[in-house]
Amino acid sequence: MAHLNPTPVLEPGQDRTMILNMGPQHPSTHGVLRVLLEIDGETVVRLMPDIGFLHTGIEKTCEAKFYQQVVPLTDRIDYLCPMTNNLCYVLAVEKLLGLEIPPKAQWLRVLLNELTRINSHLVWLGTHAMDIGALTVFLYCFREREEVLRMFEMVSGQRMMTSYFRVGGIALEPPLGFFDRVRDFAGYFPERIDQYENLLTGNPIWMMRTKGVARMTAEDAIALGATGPTLRGSGVDIDLRRDMPYSSYEKFQFKVPVSQEGDVFARYMCRVQELRESTAIVRQALDGMPEGPIKADAPGVVLPDREKMKTQMESLIYHFKIITEGFAVPPGEVYQAVESPRGEMGYYIVSDGTAKPYRVHMRSACFANLQTLPKMCEGRLLADVVAAIGSIDIVLGEIDR
Amino acid sequence: MPLVPAITDLEQLKSHPAVACLLGWNAAAVQGVKFDRDEMTIYVDRANIREACAILKDDSECAFNFLSDVTCVDWYPAEPRFEVVYHLLSIPKKERVRLKVRLNSASPAVESLTSVWPGANYFEREVFDLFGIRFTGHPYLRRILMPEDWEGHPLRKDYPVEGYR
């Protein structure tokens, strides 16, 4: 009666590990990330991120749109930094076209990009702290984030999906009172950063949960393709804004925060310092804002002003042609990268000479940064996985595209 | 900046550090060069791409130590149909270079870069998933964005935008 034998009891030490699914609905995964964990007690033996739940085929969609119709799609890749994606895309198309952008548009782009960075970092800080257990910070961060979103609403009419940049400039003059509001915000925001830091930086619980946790060396970070604060937290001093400047970033003075430790705390410090630096850039942009047009002088590419359309026949024709036929872009290819709040955001655009891009590829920072997660977590405690995921600041929309 | 015509003459561009480095290593591996819109493109022979990347990474003049991106362009119905595109970045020199490998449509395959940069892993899986290019020597070549049982490769030009119904 061999088949009635009870299931053999495992020898001690044999088959100790178990597989645990974290996500795709786990609150700390910031979206729909599934993490497959092989754990031995509380220790992570193996970790494998499983992505693709948010894949919407944006790259394929872009190929069916006119160049100017792609701009709203770029917002939706990374819903926390829409302006950064707008900027990267329009810079790439402008490079393909060989367009010169007036200084005021460039400075406004810088100003709005730094506000976007503040917005994105505030969401990161709030949710990251909440994951680790500091609930209060979330409310504080969202108080200021709300103010930034109101400014976005002022300029673009939208809080999150701004689509404010255009190929050749920006869509509209900022409304009256916008600059005062930004100046006001830049005035009191450093004090608010102090408040967050009071809650976290010296807090013993915070330090225990972050210091020495999810360590990564600089060599590993470079080999795995990490960028942004994830890379700078490991002591690699690179920031595309300073090192390969675009949109006149070379005219701004700012420090690039770098931490050497490579742990969660180091990445936290990098981002918090970046909040301060971004505020400084915002202030410089306000003080030095040049006068002049906000759109390039390229009638076949840039939509004419409403006023001109009503009085000049050519403007009306151009408007009609751009809307119905798009604008042809000379054949070629460019790779344009910008420093997004998460790292190197790159657009690789191939043009075949028509009005629709032949290929648009988005190099998303999180997609590469996520590869560092196994390196950070394997051999460490399960509870630290949550801290590690928070510290690389993932946005699943950008990873899955 | 106004557009200037692209330079594709190897003689004019051989002083570029990346080109010089690759020519010095194996002149047959360099199939062509292009300098357009301030960006350097080098067409590398398919059999040599992994070694070429390793050389560019280790060379002290170039020091392209960071792999920014791997992607692909489908030139259907032309042949060679696929261009696998690699963007390298030199963190010490703040320079970029683009390497390209041309592949025919019949069983497109190229050597994986995961032994040079482990970070190539996800990018190559994405290209495999969306274009159906095989990367030989890849440790875990499976679909990454599309479901496991998906048919076809969505970013190929002969794949309809709405998908197969």
The residue ranges of every structural domain in chain B are 10-105
Flag whether residue B6 sits within 8 Å of chain A, measured between CB atoms. Answer: yes
Model pLDDT for residues B121-135, shown as the tens digit of each residue: 999 999 999 999 999
Backbone angles phi, psi at A310, to 5 degrees: -80, -15
Flag whether residue B1 sits within 8 Å of chain A, measured between CB atoms. Answer: yes
| Chain A contact probe: residue of B40, B41, B67, B69 with most A CBs at under 10 A | B69
List % helix, strand, coil for chain A (3-state, nearest 5).
50, 10, 35
Instruction: Give me Rg for the CA atoms of chain A.
Output: 23
Torsion of CA A24, A30, A33, A39, to 10 degrees: -80
Taking Cα atoms as reference points, which of A75, A157, A159, A84 lies closest to residue A114?
Answer: A84
Query: Rounded CA gap, A50 and A24, in Å?
Result: 9
- CA dihedral (A187, A193, A195, A198) positive or negative: negative
| Position A248, amino acid | S
Average pLDDT per consecutive 10 residues, chain A (401 residues; last block may be shorter)? 54 74 74 86 87 88 90 88 91 90 91 92 91 88 92 90 89 89 92 90 88 89 90 90 89 90 90 92 91 87 86 89 89 92 92 91 90 88 88 87 83
Contact yes or no for B103/B111 (Cβ under 8 A): no
pTM value is 0.91
Flag whether residue B118 sits within 8 Å of chain A, measured between CB atoms. Answer: yes
Model pLDDT for residues B47-83, shown as the tens digit of each residue: 888 988 898 888 888 889 899 999 999 998 888 889 9
pLDDT value at position A57? 87
Contact yes or no for A398/A365 (Cβ under 8 A): yes
Contact yes or no for B97/B42 (Cβ under 8 A): yes
Taking Cα atoms as reference points, which of A88, A124, A91, A292 lies closest to residue A200?
Answer: A124
Flag whether residue B109 sits within 8 Å of chain A, measured between CB atoms. Answer: no
What is the residue extent of each domain of chain A? 2-48, 58-400
pLDDT value at position B165? 64
- The pLDDT mean for chain B works out to 87
Q: Is there a contact between A368 and B85 if contact means CB atoms under 8 Å apart? A: no
What is the number of other CB atoms lying within 10 angstroms of the CB of residue B135? Answer: 23
Superfamily of domain A58-400: Cytochrome-c3 Hydrogenase, chain B (1.10.645.10)
What is the number of other CB atoms lying within 10 angstroms of the CB of residue A104? Answer: 18
pLDDT value at position A14? 66
Closest in A57, A226, A335 to B39, CB measured: A335
- The class (CATH top level) of B10-105 is alpha beta
pLDDT value at position A4? 58
Closest in A60, A96, A370 to B154, CB measured: A60
Size of interface A-B (CB pairs under 8 A): 102
Closest in B69, B120, B144 to A346, CB measured: B69
